[in-house]
Amino acid sequence: MKMADEEVSLRLSAPAEAFDNFIGTEGKDSDDIRRCHVLWRKARRDITQRDDPTPFAHNFLKLTTETLLLCIYQRMKNTAANHADPERITRIAGQGFVHSAAFAPAYAEVNK
């Protein structure tokens, strides 16, 4: 049975590694994204070391979501000039970015 658990663990680590690399690349020019990336890495490490991570899964999912949203909003801001109404896109992306940057750290504590 232990071999099966190890195989599942290896399969599940590939998407997490891809996400980790994506956030690292996307966040290179944003302090907020880099800060959330550090929090995400710590939470990932904490949650994967637990015998039963189930109670912490929701917060980890929310942290992952908010971190990804930061990257999406950053891209929107960076490419707003290509839109017919760049001020609107910049404003929407800015509001979303502020929201995600504020809420992501609240979900980072998977050991509470």
Query: Which residue matches tokens 């490419």?
Result: 79
Which residues, including other chains, have CB under 8 Å from residue 28's CB and lie 6 or more apart? 34
Instruction: Kindly list the averaged pLDDT for each block of 10 residues, start to end, along the chain of length 112.
Output: 53 85 95 96 90 91 96 96 97 96 88 56
Please report, for residues 11, 41, 53, 70, the alpha-carbon distance to residue 49 in angstroms, rounded to integers and kept in the order given.
Answer: 16, 12, 8, 26
Per-residue confidence (pLDDT) for residue 93, from 0 to 100: 96
The CB-side HSE value for 21 (13 A sphere, CA atoms) comes to 6
pTM: predicted TM-score of the whole model, two decimal places: 0.85
Per-residue confidence (pLDDT) for residue 1, from 0 to 100: 44
The DSSP code for 106 is: G
Per-residue confidence (pLDDT) for residue 88, from 0 to 100: 97
